[in-house]
């Protein structure tokens, strides 16, 4: 599974651990699973660990330039 979530400090925090090639759909699905009404009442912070992630989808809304993207809008992460 490319996104693993672990609740921290009795549910006031969450840690997302990503690995491998991550798609936009997987990011959205992980967030939808996390942000339920019950969780939102307690959740105060989120930590994202991308050290094992090798590729992220590019963003066409300007969060990264096209020159930073590889083929198909994918961004290769440094050190991979």
> What's the pLDDT tens digit per position in 32-75?
999 998 888 999 999 999 999 888 877 555 444 444 444 445 55
Place of tokens 């590019």: 58
Q: pTM surpassing 0.95?
A: no
User: Edge-to-edge strand order for the sheet containing 74-76?
Assistant: 3-8, 13-21, 45-57, 74-76
Q: How many residues does the chain have?
A: 80
**Can you tell me the distance from the alpha carbon of 22 to that of 1, in angstroms, rounded to the nearest whole number?**
10
């Amino acid at each position: 599974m490319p996104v693993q979530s672990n609740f921290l400090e009795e549910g006031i925090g969450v840690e997302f651990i990503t690995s491998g090639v991550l798609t936009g759909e997987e990011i959205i699905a992980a967030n939808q699973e996390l942000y339920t009404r019950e969780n939102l009442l307690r959740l105060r912070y989120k930590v994202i660990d991308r050290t094992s992630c090798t590729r992220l989808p590019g963003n066409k809304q300007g969060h990264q330039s096209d020159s930073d993207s590889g083929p198909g809008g994918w961004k290769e992460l440094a050190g991979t």
